């Protein structure tokens, strides 16, 4: 029962805040940093993928060319 009461009080606090509208919502620097970080991670992932795929195309030792 305590969990239910805690969730209800948290819901009441959230509902009492300023309502979300187009006028008070804007993109932030944190979101831009996350997107930029994902772009950098994708760059290094693709670079590693290209390196490994070039290595996989080479014939193995003892394999006919």
Virtual torsion, Cα 38, 44, 50, 53, nearest 10 deg: -90
Q: How many domains does the chain have?
A: 1
Q: What is the mean pLDDT of residues 20-49?
A: 92
List helix spans (H) across the chain: 2-16, 29-57
Whether 35 is in a domain gets the answer: yes
Whether 37 is in a domain gets the answer: yes
Whether 52 is in a domain gets the answer: yes
Q: Give the residue from 34, 38, 35 showing the smallest Cα distance to 46.
A: 38
* CA distance to 26, 27, 46, 63, per residue, from 31 (Å): 10, 7, 23, 50
Q: What is the pLDDT of residue 26?
A: 81
Q: Is the pTM of this model over 0.85?
A: no
Whether 38 is in a domain gets the answer: yes
| pLDDT bucket at 1, cuts 50 / 70 / 90 | low
Please tell me the distance from the alpha carbon of residue 44 to that of residue 50, in angstroms, as a whole number: 10
Domain of residue 45, residue span: 27-57
């Amino acid at each position: 029962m305590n969990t239910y009461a805690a969730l209800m009080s948290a819901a009441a606090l959230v509902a009492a805040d300023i309502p979300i509208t187009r006028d008070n919502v804007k993109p932030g620097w944190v979101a831009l940093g996350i997107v930029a970080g994902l772009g950098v991670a994708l760059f290094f992932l693709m670079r590693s993928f290209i390196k490994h795929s070039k290595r996989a195309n080479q014939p193995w030792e003892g394999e006919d060319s």
